[in-house]
Structure 1
Amino acid sequence: MQRKIKESMDNQGTTSILQNRIVLFPLPFQGHINPMFQLANILHSRGFNISIIHTKFNFPNPSKYPHFTFHQISDGLLESGVPISDPVLIIKFLNSNIVEPFRECLDRLMFDYHVECVITDANWFFTQAIADRVNLPRIVLRTSSICSFLAFASLSLFRDKGYFSNIDSNADAPIEEFPPLKIKDIPQIETSNSEDVFQVIGAMVEQTKKSSALIFNTFSELEEPDLPKLHNQFPVPTFTIGPFHKFFSASTTSLLTQDMNSISFLDKQEPKSVLYVSFGSVASMDAQKLQEVALGLANSKQPFLWAIRPGLVQGSEWIETLPNELLETLSKQGYVVKWAPQQEVLSHFAIGGFWTHNGWNSTLESICEGVPMICSPFFGDQMVNSRYVSDVWKIGIKLEKGLERDEIENAIRRLMVEKEGDEMRQRILCLKEKIDVCLKPGGSSYQSLEKMVDFITSFRSSTA
């Protein structure tokens, strides 16, 4: 099907040009939905009409976005028996099972509108072939940092070098081909078949190279040393227009109910006195690790706000595995909720530190608010992000031993009450200032957004 500007007949029998439109296709996980919807809002604010294609799985509430049109496609996920706890299997299954539903939906949209391009999550690698078939530019949104994306692109190299066989025995050894990473920082995702990881990531990387352009939710001043490496491996136009959430909040895209009492608790605390603790929307731990976290917090004697997501603890509803005596101690020292409005929390005057899993959204939000971090990565890009936070940008402390109460207590004190924490706070405030500049007219992200808008609108003349 050749792309062209189609014409339609209105009720009076006159001819009108069909509406220009961009189609966006997010991966149906919280950490991927947030930046895609923020990007959609950014593009809408620049005059683009937006259509969202979304799987039935985790389908958002369209009433929150009356300025977009939504198109749900069947995915067969719940009927498939694929475990919801295995993101690799989910991504592999969906890339195979929704090819026809997506193609049919895109064809309908292209019949009804003049679709200028489709912007998909990088993990929707099947969409490149469909976009090529209809001569439609496909732009890829990568929701991670550039540094972690490059690490994922190097997984085959890491395997060929034998690093995977040494992760346990030689965890702290450096990766010579990819400083500053150590072997234990190699992105890993637990799944039933480890070969699936290489297949999924390999397909994502190869199809991204065939795309028309790349978008990153980052700013060039933060990841400037890695930009030449990115351009060498992915020779397509790249737009670093982040941080997205500084344009539009992610609160409306939350799949979990936010406890606004978090803010009331923080209002009563001293400035920079509270440690905010959250391990994101996907990570999980066993009951023993939860207790180590709780004991580390209790022993630190520092005020805290702890978001414990239902489902965080394997085999438990919430926090029922913690001893009553420990819960009493925690209740006197801090505040435990099921989910918190993270952006509002991080910007609150009472927050002095963020203990995080280092998902990219959380890491970037912390940098934007000038809040130094304690790093506890669980899987994937979190491993790389945490290493850059601690060793490159020097704005956080990585828990090198995992979740052990003594190291936790020590890290909290270093961050919250010692000089080391103050020095990190000064460094991250400098980054915060750079973000404020990059978003203003003439700034790097502002200019990149202007170039991206021009790039997309150039498709109009090429398809007329």
Structure 2
Amino acid sequence: MENQEERSSCRRQRVVLFPLPFQGHINPMLQLANILYSKGFSITILHTNFNSFYTSNYPHFTFRPVLDTDPKDTNLSKLASQGVGDLLSGIMLLNQYGAVSFRQELDQMLIASKHQHEPIVCLITDALWHFTQSVADSLNLPRIVLRTSSLFCVLVYASIPVLDDQGYFNQVNSDLEERVSDIPVLKVKDVLKMRIKGQDDPAAKLLANMLKQTKASAGIVWNSFKELEESELLKIHQDFSIPSFLIGPFHKYFPASSSSLLEPDRSSITWLDHQAPNSVLYISFGSAVQLEEQDLLEVAHGLATSNQPFLWVMRPGLVKGSEWLELLPNGFLDEVGERGHIVKWAPQQEVLAHQATGAFWTHNGWNSTLESICEGVPMICSPFWGDQPLDARFMSDVLKVAVYLENGWRREEITSAIRRVLVDEEREDIRERARCLKEKVNVSLMKGGSSYESLESLVGFISSF
């Protein structure tokens, strides 16, 4: 632990952080802010009013709203009701038109910080806020990028032009099981599930700008750890000539902290307390994705016929237009009885750490995937889009700690997958590999471990500005 003089010295340095306004991006940014605060830095969080979080949970931070009015009147809350595509459009518009407003705000903060004898030493932004690089450059302020996905995902994103030239985004009638020649971990169907139509697709252009401006930044912070993606780290070092700091998993530094935008139902834990060890399937598809009604029915039928206990997070609106449970099959709740427990939201980290939890059926957002790895919990993977199918393939085919439901939502396959991770003989092999990964996480965070040392390097790096 640093001595008081070192902490006092750092506390006179302020770091400004700017997350993307989505649960999966807000969480790791606030976790990173907590980590840096514990190392003595003062913290300012910039935020939009879309998906605003409980700032009262962080009295030790300063919060400032930004980009709530802009030249194109981009209202993210209005776009949110129209779907993911419109939200992406909003992010792209703010990247295109937000620089002037953002520069004025940051310039005022820099002037004020000098008068307060607490200089702002760097800006840390979500990688998708790529416009902030030019703003930081104009103010001679170092910008560090936080990338909230896996390294493997970023390498695939960097390969989008090559994949497009080779025709992988248009192979609708080709063999979906075929392996991708340049990235043999992936199948053709994984590329299609990214929902990118080629390098001229708006989402692909956003990713290309993200990569370009990341390479122009001072460094990258990753919510991952070296032992999880060692070969991917070597490739990142080849492609990015800036420092990479793998200091994750972030949430392990402060396991009790939460920046959830939804209120968890504590009955989850009470119910788990009455279940046998490693017996429960925990099901949660994150805070944003939506199921089709038919898919929900397949999930329910698969759970019913598996005969295994389950804790199911069903957000209101999980199926578009639904209130909550009204779309479940008739008789489903009576059939499963006490074997099943359904909540609107759960304290996920606690659930995964609970001894009763035997497997996690997930959409494979990176935060959820990491949380499962940290607790040694095997996964069932049902990704939706973007980086999720890439994470799912990596978990199932590279690390072999997951069963991938890669052919959609079919009740027979769902039942089979549940039994594979909870009942059948192969569950022990999957569980053992998951336990080994958990141990690697713990070692990486100990003094002398890879994440511990990388965090020390990051603190020194920021302090040197």
TM-score (norm 1): 0.92
Q: Distance in 2 between matches of 1:71 and 1:168?
A: 50
CA distance in 2, matches of 1:374, 1:149: 23
| 2:296 is aligned with 1:303 | no
Partner residue in 2 for 1:112: 112
Give 1:38 shift: 0.3
CA distance in 2, matches of 1:192, 1:399: 23
Structure 1 equivalent of residue 366 of structure 2: 360
CA distance in 2, matches of 1:345, 1:286: 26
Match of 1:11 in 2: none
How far apart are 1:310 and its partner, in Å?
1.6
TM-aligned CA deviation for residue 191 of structure 1:
8.7
* Paired position in structure 1 for 2:428: 422
* Corresponding residue number in structure 2 for 1:69: 62
The percent identity for this pair of structures is 53
Of residues 62, 78, 82 in structure 1, which corresponds to 2:79? Answer: 82
Residue 139 (1) aligns with residue 144 (2): yes
- After superposition, what is the alpha-carbon deviation per residue over 1:203-237, rounded to whole angstroms, capped at 9, x for unaligned? 11111111110010001001001111111111110
Change (3 A) 1:162 1:275: same
Which residue number in structure 1 is paired with residue 6 of structure 2?
none
Contact conserved, 2:16 with 2:46, CA < 8 A, in 1? yes
In 2, are the aligned partners of 1:88 and 1:189 still within 8 Å (CA)? no
Indicate which of 156, 160, 164 corresponds to 2:165.
160
* 1:115 maps to amino acid: I
Q: Is the 8 A contact 1:189 1:197 kept in 2?
A: no
Stretches of structure 1 lacking an aligned partner (at least 5 in a row): 1-16, 460-464
The aligned runs of 1:244-259 (5 Å cut-off) are 244-249=250-255, 251-259=257-265
Q: 1:168 to 1:208 in 2, by over 3 A?
A: farther
Q: Contact 1:71/1:105 (CA < 8 Å) preserved in 2?
A: no
Q: Which amino acid aligns with 1:120?
A: T
1:101, distance to aligned residue in structure 2 (A): 2.8
Q: What SS does structure 1 have at the residue aligned with 2:258?
A: helix
Q: Does the 8 A contact of 1:24 with 1:119 survive in 2?
A: yes
Paired residue for 1:345? 351
Question: Which one of 97, 109, 134 corresponds to residue 129 of structure 1?
Answer: 134
Name the counterpart of 2:211. 205
The AA in structure 1 aligned to 2:99 is V
- CA distance 1:83–1:66, shift in 2 (3 Å): closer
> In the alignment, residue 443 of structure 1 is paired with which amino acid?
G
Q: Spell out, residue by residue over 1:382-404, the C-alpha distance to the aligned partner (whole angstroms, 9 max, x if none).
A: 11110011000000100121111
Matched pairs, number: 443
Q: Determine the structure 1 residue equivalent to 2:26.
A: 33
Once the two structures are TM-superposed, the CA of residue 327 in structure 1 deviates from its matched residue by 2.7
Q: Which amino acid aligns with 2:142?
A: P
Q: 2:459 matched to which residue of 1?
A: 453
The 1-side partners of 2:283 and 2:31 are apart by 24
Q: Does the C-alpha gap of structure 1 residues 94 and 187 become closer, same or farther in structure 2, counting only changes over 3 Å? A: farther
Deviations 1:249-294 (A, max 9, x none): 4753101111110001000100111000000111111110000011
Q: Quick one: which amino acid aligns to residue 79 of structure 2? A: V
Tell me the C-alpha RMSD between the 2 structures. Answer: 1.9
1:59 matches 2:56? no
Amino acid at match of 1:165: N
CA contact (8 A) 2:359 2:421 kept: yes
One-letter amino acid matched to 1:82: L
1:39-54 mapped onto 2 (5 Å cutoff): 39-54=32-47
Deviation, structure 1 residue 188: 4.8
Return the letter of the residue paired with 1:329. E
Question: Distance in 1 between the 2:11 and 2:318 partners?
Answer: 47
* C-alpha distance in structure 1 between counterparts of 2:422 and 2:316, whole Å: 27
Q: 1:262 to 1:344 in 2, by over 3 A?
A: same
Secondary structure of 1:403's counterpart equals: coil
| Aligned-partner residue type, residue 313 of structure 1 | V
Task: Name which of structure 1's ranges 253-262 and 90-99 shifts more when overlaid on structure 2.
Answer: 90-99
Q: How far off its partner does 1:79 sit? A: 7.3
SS at match of 2:33: helix
Q: How does 1:125-274 map to 2 (within 5 A)?
A: 125-167=130-172, 169-186=174-191, 188=193, 195-249=201-255, 251-274=257-280
Shift of 1:243: 0.5
- Against the structure 1 CA distance between its residues 187 and 432, is the aligned structure 2 distance closer, same or farther, given a 3 Å change threshold? farther
Tell me whether 411-420 or 314-323 shows the greater mean CA deviation: 314-323
Deviation for aligned residue 1:190: 5.2
Runs of 5+ unmatched residues, structure 2: 1-9, 114-118
Residues 251, 341 of structure 1: 8 Å contact kept: no
User: Partners in 2 of 1:101 and 1:399 — Cα distance?
Assistant: 45
Three-state SS of the structure 2 residue aligned to 1:214 is strand
Moved more, 226-235 or 191-200: 191-200
What's the offset of the Cα at 1:80?
Answer: 8.4
Counterparts of 1:424-439 in structure 2 under 5 Å?
424-439=430-445
Contact 2:194 2:387 in 1 (8 A): no
* CA–CA distance in structure 2, aligned partners of residues 358 and 445 of structure 1: 22
**Of 287, 291, 294, which residue of structure 2 is paired with 1:288?**
294
Cα contact 1:259–1:341 (8 A) shared by 2: yes
Deviation track 1:277-316 (CA, whole Å, cap 9, x = no partner) reads 0001111111100000111011100000000112211232
Structure 1 counterpart of 2:234, one-letter code: P
Change (3 A) 1:109 1:64: same
Q: CA deviation at 1:118?
A: 0.3
Between the aligned partners of 2:324 and 2:244, the Cα distance in structure 1 is 42
* TM-score, normalisation: structure 2: 0.92
Q: Does the 8 Å CA contact 1:187/1:382 hold for their aligned counterparts?
A: no
CA distance in 1, matches of 2:74, 2:54: 19
4+ residue runs of structure 1 moved beyond 6 angstroms?
191-194
